Amino acid sequence: MSSQDLQVYLNGRFVPVDEAKVSVLDRGFLFGDGIYEVIPVYGGQPLRLDEHLRRLDQSLAAIKMKSPLGDKEWSAIFDRLISGTADQQIYLQVTRGAANKRDHSIPAEITPTVFVMCTPIAPIPLDGIKAITVSDIRWDRCNIKAITLLANILLRQEAVDQGAAEAILVRDGQVLEGAASNIMIVSGGKIITPPKGDTILPGITRDLVLDLAKNLGIPTEERHFDIAELKNADEIWVTSSTREILSVIELDGKFISGGIPGKTWKTLQSAYQDYKRALREAPSTRT
Ligand code: PDD
């Protein structure tokens, strides 16, 4: 699909992407004043839609906004944009809207800007990725899925510049998450991941992987760990909606799990693919 063929939703209208225009006074453009969601779609069905919509509500509430649309209205928009049954991702963004002047404080009366698009999901590297550890330079509200991603961009680019695919963020000695993913380690037969809180995004994939592990009888633990424990882990994974579960096979230039994806990753990867298959085959709930 060329970009001209892409239909998007903007403020109540479905238009070709080239015709979707936002004011230069939009506070998303001027301040990064907005939030977003990324929802994977398999066989035309959004994965864990309710969970994504609840996180959207939480992000909006955290920046003092109300959801501009109800669940049924969001679903109706997604249904119009999802095309066919190939794997896709919904990107949705709500900014505070366009004010009539640039002023940091929040205007009393302002109409949010609502944008949604649906695009193909890129192929996922199944043979593992390289990652580096970096010092976390982000703010103290990392649980908000804010469009203000400058720190995440710089951290990810540091990884890319070193030939790695992800940066793993460390703050006060604690390993928190990736620049655009959550982190899990396998150690002593357990899957360990940092607890939810202000220092990580509450990932939907993270929760799904923990649920799948519990169903398989694999022990899980939500607790903090430090960089020494990370480096000694049997396996390291990063999880996200668009990259599922990626096995980190090299960290800071040293092999992890012998430089190949580990056996627990293979088990969870297979359970994740089964979950996607069931979603693809489930009777459609879409209208
Ligand atoms: N990012 N942590 C951060 C900082 C993220 O940006 C993401 C996802 C995650 C994983 O969350 P989830 O499993 O709900 O996708 C964790 C998305 C995919 C992005 O920015 O494109």
Split at pLDDT 50, 70, 90, the class of 3 is low
| pLDDT score at 247 | 98
**CATH class given for the domain over 7-120:** alpha beta
pTM of the model: 0.97
| pLDDT score at 25 | 97
Ligand 1 centroid – CA 156 distance (Å): 13
| pLDDT score at 284 | 74
Ligand 1 centroid – CA 202 distance (Å): 8
Split at pLDDT 50, 70, 90, the class of 283 is confident
Q: Does ligand 1 come within 6 angstroms of the Cβ of 240?
A: yes
Averaged pLDDT for residues 262-280: 97
Averaged pLDDT for residues 270-286: 90
Which ligand 1 atom minimizes the distance to the CA of 52?
Answer: 14
Q: Does ligand 1 come within 6 angstroms of the Cβ of 156?
A: no
Q: Does ligand 1 come within 6 angstroms of the Cβ of 193?
A: no
Split at pLDDT 50, 70, 90, the class of 103 is very high
Residue nearest to atom 9 of ligand 1 (CA): 181
To the nearest whole percent, how much of the chain has pLDDT over 90? 95
Averaged pLDDT for residues 121-144: 97
| pLDDT score at 286 | 57
| Per-residue tokens: 187 | 């150690």
152: closest CA among 92, 240, 265, 255? Answer: 240
Q: Does ligand 1 come within 6 angstroms of the Cβ of 149?
A: no
Which ligand 1 atom minimizes the distance to the CA of 241?
Answer: 15
How many alpha carbons lie under 13 Å from residue 156 in its C-beta half-sphere?
10
The burial of 240, by beta-carbon neighbours within 10 Å (0-12 exposed, 13-18 middle, 19 or more buried), is given as buried
Residues classed as catalytic: 145
Cα 186 versus chain centre, distance: 21
- How high does pLDDT run on average in the chain? 96
Lowest mean pLDDT: which of 114-118, 134-138, 208-212, 282-286?
282-286
Split at pLDDT 50, 70, 90, the class of 62 is very high
Averaged pLDDT for residues 45-69: 98
Supply the angle between the helices 204-215 and 263-281 in degrees, to the nearest 10.
Answer: 100
Q: 180-204: per-residue pLDDT in tens?
A: 999 999 999 999 999 999 999 999 9
Q: Does ligand 1 come within 6 angstroms of the Cβ of 205?
A: yes
The burial of 140, by beta-carbon neighbours within 10 Å (0-12 exposed, 13-18 middle, 19 or more buried), is given as exposed
Q: Does ligand 1 come within 6 angstroms of the Cβ of 204?
A: yes
Q: 248-264: per-residue pLDDT in tens?
A: 999 999 999 999 999 99
The burial of 118, by beta-carbon neighbours within 10 Å (0-12 exposed, 13-18 middle, 19 or more buried), is given as buried
To the nearest whole percent, how much of the chain has pLDDT over 70? 98
Domain spans of the chain, in order of start: 7-120, 129-276
The residue that leads in pLDDT, 250 or 2, is: 250
| pLDDT score at 1 | 55
Which ligand 1 atom minimizes the distance to the CA of 177?
Answer: 2
How many alpha carbons lie under 13 Å from residue 57 in its C-beta half-sphere?
10
β-strand 88-95 against 34-42: which pairing, if any? antiparallel
Averaged pLDDT for residues 123-152: 97
Residue nearest to atom 19 of ligand 1 (CA): 180
Domain 129-276 listed as CATH 1.10.287.610: no
Ligand 1 centroid – CA 148 distance (Å): 13
Q: Which amino acid type is present at position 31?
A: F
CA dihedral 209, 257, 151, 28 (to 10 degrees): -30
